[in-house]
Chain A
Amino acid sequence: MKQTSHAFMQHAEAALADAGKAQRRDLLGLFMPLARDAATARYGDFEALRAHLKRVRTHTTNHLDHYLARFEEASLRNGNQVHFAATPEQLNNTVLSICQAHGARRVAKGKSMVTEETALNEQLLKAGLEVIETDLGEYIIQQAGETPSHIVGPALHKSLPEIRRLFLDRHKLGERSLEQVEDIVAEARSILREQFLQADVGVIGANALIAENGATMLVTNEGNGDLCANLPPVLIVCTTLERILPRAEDAMALQRLLVRSATGQAQTCYTSFYSGPQRDDDVDGPLETHIILLDNKRTDILASDYSEILDCIRCGACLNHCPIYVGVGGHAYGWVYPGPMGSILTPLLSSLEQSNALPNACTSCGRCAEVCPANIPLPDLLRDLRQEENQRQLNSPRLRRGLRVHAWFLRHPALYRRLGAWTMSVLGLLGRRRGALRRLPFAAGWTGTRDFPAPEGGTFMQQYRNRARGGRRRG
């Protein structure tokens, strides 16, 4: 897909103008964190689980050369063909040449963010293949010609009436009501069932690669990925290097974190470990299986100060908890990965020049880091990207001047405090009657869409000093 991350602000403004969609996002922003909180509380010591996986991840990353070699060896022994792809084009070409070698016409795909990243569908369609997305959300947006707005629920931005109109338009099935969500699911089920049965090639992603036994773990609720892995005669797993974990038990630990953070379940309906093509004892399954390992700059990221972003397990919790993401939705980010994780990954996988708006789409509130099951310091990485943006002078000259003025004041704390206190009392006086200000110099970006609350009760430092004094007296 064509990247439009540079236009984040314009996308965001347009998204906020659609009140109906904004309301749907607000509801998800309330509901998803509740589901996650309930699930982590039911687990018990979620912190310890997070810390455990972080240690395993760090160990694996430190020795990724060793574990990648082990994974390759084990999966070859299992009868897979293993391919390496340095670039998105190489992955797409590998998939295409496998399809062509089999004279394949129909490709059924399970949900895979990696193939969104490489824009595999476009390439296969160009070559004359039929490609069908089988995850319901992915199927809906494929029919609508859109891109995912969320890495777990790709079509959550669409309302039932919109999907109904889409299905009535796309599926020539005559008169029918399709008024309930159940009707939509049933129609997609019957259409996609045929696709599974007719597909020549199945393409899926992987949630983990297990070095000790060469298996790939697939986590789904719909079972669509499992149908792709069991029915077509050829299976291709498209994945990336950083999914490798040493042992099956480590994949289970990851699964515990992933599913609770994504949907609030203890385990999804299907957690499968696929190891290769049909065995002597099998009566079904693919005859040929391929695993394609994509790098796409990940080895560079691994060697950089941003390596921790590779611990991301794609649960979507940082999206659901981000006030910016919930406010403007996934499409505003202009590429495949939205929200906090996307605002870090997008500049690293493309370039900071193309996407410097994204690290700025952050209030530094820290909620993402609090809930991240992989314990990634997301706000810190976003700040580092903003710093890099400033050093490389990719931001506006006006902003840089403002930052220099701000920095000068911060280095003169007495003056900063005095000026801060003076500004506050002036703003407090000006906004005393309404409790808020309609317009402010240098802050049209804020006051253009909402009032600025009039300050009251003294500056932070004044309050801090008062409280410290009070505390001493009481103590």
Chain B
Amino acid sequence: MAESARSDILARLRASSSPATKEQIEQELVALGFAGAAALPAADHCIAFMANVLANRGSVELAADRAEAVRVVGRYLYNRFRTHKLVAGNDPRIAAMPWRDAGVLPRFGAAENGDSAALSYARLGVAETGAIVTWTGRANPGRNNLLPEDHLVLVNREDVVANLEDAWRRIRQDLPAGSWPRGITFTAGPSSTADVEAQLVMGAHGPRRWHVILVGATPTEALAEARALSGADAT
């Protein structure tokens, strides 16, 4: 049954498709080029990225380096949950951070139902949409983005790209041939729904809060500017 469906469908498509060689099709495709990206709210990629994260109902903090990132994460966990419990994938970048300094002892591995907070180290940030990019694997199991109440994300300043096409260019660069992961996800906000009376509610199935920490030397005025651009209040 299935095999006949396959050959039947392919035969029908061959009949309705225009005849061309592989090379001609490839040339035609290259000539089409790529789409234009959305206008950025600010010329500086990091400011635009932060403004869009805020517009996506995420929250943003700055950390000059990994030591400060540890303190920022510790403070966030204490303020939110009065604990220092955290789950994180086996990302060497996270493992190498001085967690003891902030009293945080991450459990390394996959998130479980009931975990309050998970930390991911994003591969990329995308200024155009305020998204962060992760892929599945030991360093960030797929469920870590989805099961916890709060999803915390570290992203390096130098990993913030301008737009979605640049993001794919980097993904292709960073993933050697044959090592394509099971899943690549662009996350742009806490899990949300507007299915009841078109009213937006956070925490539909996944994280209720999404906290992005931009790691690297960023002046605090940049965050203030991003807040002003996103329309979020400056508190």
Contact = CB atoms under 8 A, between A and B. Distances in A.
A282 interface: yes
A42 B182 contact: no
Contact of A84 (B9, B146, B194): B9
B129 A269 contact: no
Contact of A31 (B32, B129, B198): B198
Interface in B117-173: 126, 128-131, 136-138, 141-143, 145-146, 164-165, 168, 171
Contacts of B34: 52, 249, 253
Interface stretch (A121-129, A185-193, A323-331, A454-462): A185-193
Interface string B9-49: 11011111110101001001100111110110000000000
Nearest to B191: A223
Given A63-B17, A283-B110, A299-B16, A135 B8 contact: no
A185 B204 contact: yes
Given A53-B35, A184-B196, A222-B204, A66 B22 contact: yes
A284 B194 CA distance: 29
Contact of A268 (B16, B39, B188): B188
Contacts of B1: 90, 93
A284 B184 contact: no
Given A275-B180, A283-B138, A65 B185 contact: no
Contact of B36 (A48, A213, A267): A48
Contacts of A243: none
B137 A63 contact: no
B45 to A, nearest CB: 15
Interface in B158-211: 164-165, 168, 171, 180-199, 201, 203-207
Interface string A357-385: 00000000000000000000000000000
B235 interface: no
Contact of A282 (B25, B137, B201): B137
Given A222-B192, A282-B136, 5 more contacts: A52-B36, A59-B29, A65-B13, A84-B2, A267-B130
5 contacts: A137-B193, A246-B29, A272-B184, A279-B181, A299-B13
Top 6 closest A-B pairs, CB basis? A223-B206, A137-B195, A253-B35, A267-B129, A222-B204, A299-B12
